Amino acid sequence: MSKMPYLDQIFNEIERLHPPVGGGFRGVIKSFEFKGYHVPAGWLAQYSILLTHRLPELYSDPDRFDPDRFQSGKQKPFSLIGFGGGSRICIGLAFAKLEMKLVAAHLLRNYHWELLPNQNLEAILIPTRQPKDGLRVSFKSKPA
């Protein structure tokens, strides 16, 4: 699995463009000013994963699917936050990424894929991000 670095880049780009949740909340520990507004300690602040992942100052051409943007490994801290970050990063991150790699490797090696027609792939954001009509795909075994 460690010999598939490009697959990691692809998953990072998928996470960037299609995070599983839109954002979260954090408790404000220290008061601060933001765009002319005072945010006092003790309040809850909401952060947006969706908007953060599309900031042009973090990602050039942010609407384009480009796994190569993760090639250098020199991303700004907290620029990819689909699994959280810092002390609150998802405890299951490594396991989730391993599972995704195993499933993807199996499906890519052993099957031909075809996205079925007549489905609405518009994103529904709540409770978790998913295509409106689901994601219907036909898998056909590759010859051995």
Q: What is the mean pLDDT of residues 114-124?
A: 95
The answer to whether 40 and 97 have CB atoms below 8 angstroms apart is no
pTM here? 0.84
DSSP-derived secondary structure letter, 29: -
Domain count for the chain, please give it.
Answer: 1
5 token code pair:
């670095």
Arithmetic mean of pLDDT over the chain:
92
Structure confidence by residue, pLDDT tens digits, 12-63: 999 999 998 889 899 999 999 999 999 999 999 999 999 999 999 999 999 9
**Domain of residue 125, CATH code:** 1.10.630.10
The residue assigned the tokens 């490594």 is 94
Structure confidence by residue, pLDDT tens digits, 60-100: 999 999 999 999 777 888 999 999 988 889 999 999 999 99
Q: Which domain holds residue 77?
A: 5-141
The pLDDT, as a whole number, for residue 75 is 84
